[in-house]
Structure 1
């Protein structure tokens, strides 16, 4: 039986007791997770399939979602990772030449519990004022009395303290070839890498050996890589102790390193910085970032709920020499990038692969190439 448009009553319950009514969308039942909002007006397929959204219920602030349907080319991984989905006004019929089915059909096919008809403006304002919190979507037979649903939400695991990278990364080593002539070989610790990252690395002549997030430095070193790549991923970065140790060893041996999102937080901790949880995080395709080195501004795609505790433009001492807080967000002063000045390593908090999103920061992949070229010369 195919997907049937939303007909069941549904409710979104937050851990502070707030209740938002609506109608079921996608699969029916119960879904629990951290309630977050994303400001992107498009790119919902990439958002839903981004492993960084693992165990999070995603709400779209844009009122109309699903207009372009769902296709077989834009997935950023092999499944939807979001725990649940909240929208205001889902498209009745998708309209795009690449669409093969509707968003609602795909949510139903992958058994993702969603809710539509929610006052998403009110919900976004609530989360901005109160901060992200645990939530639950309940529809059809899962709708019970408010006390029982709230108890279920309170019984779910908080994001703080959660180690999730091992739940989204590969279990065995994978090889992604370069497009055309191979210029470099890199090791990438898979904490939730996105497909378009592979694309941008590959088109620059980089072959990627994707390693499980539990890999040791010895396993990285056995590949004799030209560089080490740290991608995005879910969970609390303070739980990434083994990954931090791998990065520490790589820095000691001056292996060129590039980190994105969670990778930025892992590099920062290896350099001696601490992380903290943001009030409501940065999630969307329109977040400004300033390069403290030259004042240039980029509009970026972001998805993170934790950040590094440091001062924008600050240089600081590390076990590997001096480092610079190279990028920051002018909206709230959040650290958006690091550059090591005495070892070949840098990172950014945002997504230069930007799938979906602006392409302002794609040149960072070229900077990684330059770093590896210099590594060969030294």
Structure 2
């Protein structure tokens, strides 16, 4: 393996704090908002999740790469994170089902990896000081130059990124002869969402982020879906208008993560950037309708305003995050619409929330 090619590298945070490590393969510089994920498995799905576009990912699990990479364990067509920061990078992998090493996977997608970083200290620092822009680089002797470049990187707050990951042309997923037709707005959709809808008897047409309601309506769908995705939901005015049109007609509507935030905005509920966000596969959520707890997969840096949600007479909170009491799910009382802030498709993660896809199909069948 390429141990001899490892060069000194650094993580430079926007406030000037520096953590040192070593590069894996590719040399150079990469910018993004630094965030961390607490999942102990499923790293390949995390790295290819469009919701992470523009972010430098810190993995809290000490060992990354030990089971390699497999062609069918991706959530999009390429790596979406801006770069990886980890503690121990495994050049060797032990899983027979893997198609290549994680090092090969990153090199093939031309993405940077920095290992040998004190990730416990880095994550503790981010938890204390909040998510911020950062740069990873092998240019360890150009700190002042990197600081100047980093100062010009836009904040995630107010940043529209859905257009960077959305499909440019509509496409179909599933069997054309399926019982139900669903029009999905791609603002960063994960493949496992499409798989879960298709295996429940749906034929999906996926539309670009800026598609108009009339375009989706022309498909004559039985239901509408707003996907997950990256960035700030507030600039997605076209998606909000689409949600309003669906709601106006009381058509079945389901939103996940960024889609959930868009639905909230369409109902006059504001969103805000969180101190750190929720990123991991063991987040506890309580279903207020059933009284049951769920262990969930989450990945978001924005949330909807709880006070405004509770004050809205047309909206009911259905799920709460038990760590910080943020809103994890809502339903529109007089409409055929619900949404959640987490990932029921759980790729990676637990399957406690898979019932939400069944609920969406049930809403469609009753419409």
TM bucket normalised to smaller: over 0.9
Q: Which moved more, 1:113-122 or 1:155-164?
A: 155-164
Q: Does 1:262 align with 2:258?
A: yes
- Structure 1: which 5+ residue stretches go unaligned? none
Aligned to 2:347: 355
- Structure 2: which 5+ residue stretches go unaligned? none
Aligned to 1:22: 21
Check 1:244–1:312 CA distance in 2 against 1; reply closer, same or farther (3 A cut): closer
Segments ≥4 residues shifted beyond 3 Å: 2-6, 311-315
SS in 1 for 2:234: helix
Q: Does 1:338 align with 2:330?
A: yes
Q: TM-score, normalised by structure 1?
A: 0.94
What's the offset of the Cα at 1:3? 6.0
Question: How do residues 198-237 of structure 1 correspond to structure 2 at under 5 angstroms?
Answer: 198-237=194-233
| CA deviation vs aligned residue, 1:182-241 (integer Å, no higher than 9, x gap) | 110010001111111111111111000000011001111111110000110001011111
Q: Does 1:174 align with 2:171?
A: yes
What's the offset of the Cα at 1:178? 3.1
SS in 2 for 1:238: coil
CA distance in 1, matches of 2:297, 2:322: 15
- Work out the number of aligned pairs and report it: 367
SS in 1 for 2:312: strand
CA distance in 2, matches of 1:190, 1:145: 39
Aligned to 2:44: 45
Aligned to 2:158: 161
CA distance in 2, matches of 1:341, 1:268: 13
Q: TM-score, normalised by structure 2?
A: 0.97
Aligned to 2:146: 149
> Does the aligned pair in 1 maintain the 2:12–2:18 contact within 8 Å?
yes
| CA deviation vs aligned residue, 1:239-296 (integer Å, no higher than 9, x gap) | 1111000000000011100000001000011111000000000001011111122321
> Does the aligned pair in 1 maintain the 2:270–2:308 contact within 8 Å?
no
| CA deviation vs aligned residue, 1:123-175 (integer Å, no higher than 9, x gap) | 00000000000000011xx3333222222211212111111111101111101
Check 1:264–1:154 CA distance in 2 against 1; reply closer, same or farther (3 A cut): same
Aligned to 1:273: 269
